[in-house]
Structure 1
Amino acid sequence: MFALIERLHKKDEFVLREVIHAYGGYVKAIVIKVLQPNQTAIEECINDVFHIIWQKSYQFTGNEDDFKKWIGVIAKYKAIDTYRALQNKPKTTELFPSISSVNALPESIVEEKLQKEQLFIKILGLNKTDQEIFLLKYYLGYSNGEIAEIFDISKAAVENRLYRGKLKLKEEMSWEVSR
């Protein structure tokens, strides 16, 4: 096994930069083929691919050629998943509906943005599985059934995790607002 893989297995923080430098163009070419012309989706997908490589590096065993193939497979399937998620989303979604409102005051726009950022930070405070479920559901637009398949749990279990997570987030956000 070559040194790059060994360092990935050991979770050497600097090796990810080397992997991005060595395989970034390769990953980008694969992702662009699937997601062109959506530049935002392409960039997010590329980041997700390298995040998956970092997280799942322990699963890889093989040589340098196999590593490149492994990365290519991850990039291909992540791009396809992203494409499907985009196809399932409503076509007209405003990112910041309050900004488009003529009556919105600049202060309320800033306050709403801060609340969204705080909510995202709180989501990152949930346990790992709940984080992933929330991100798949509310940021990537996956259905409860698709999430259940990904985690190999029942749809009811996904709904329960979402419900309990929302209660926890609501409690934490209301506590922070009242401080």
Structure 2
Amino acid sequence: MTNRIRDIRKAKGLTLADLAAACTPPTTAQTIGRLETGMRQLSLGWMNRIAAALEIEPASLMRAESGAPAQVVAQLGAGGPEALSAPREALLPNALSPQDGPAPLVLEVTASVGEYRPGDLVWLRRLDPADTAGAINRDCLVPRSGGRFAFGRLIDRKGTLVGLLPPGAGQKQVVVDDPAWVAVAFMLVRTL
């Protein structure tokens, strides 16, 4: 088994120093580097500390030697595609989700609606309804009575009322009173 600390750290945009400082208690960038490269053994204690700092499940830090993972080999920027100095593992969306709190939700798109195409998978993170200020103007899924849902751009939050603008053209605002949760979209997975 090899570890995926470097791949997950880079996917989250963290430096060695950032990850070292996020550990509880903080450690050094050199120690994190040694754990990443295998120069220092990754004990269960270290796995738990690093996973907590990365906000992922500890098991996500390990990968089996069998089956080669997908690799990120290039980056596309304004100047065109550029090769990476060394390929790194491409992570699945669930490896980037926080370890605490509810599991991510996925909304499957079956018809073209607004910017969404059939086959799209919209990954959502549940929020407490009181913490939705950061989700304003982002696509959200909200439970309604009778096992139904409302989906759209979160445009209003007043008291217990949540206002959504559906993604389809010409649709009216949907208002949900006192939802149990609001799930904000954080990733779109689209096959080509």
Larger strand proportion of the pair: 2
Q: Say whether the fold is shared (TM-score over 0.5).
A: no
Query: So what's the TM-score if we normalise by structure 1?
Result: 0.24
Specify which structure has the higher proportion of helix: 1
**TM-score after normalising by structure 2:** 0.23
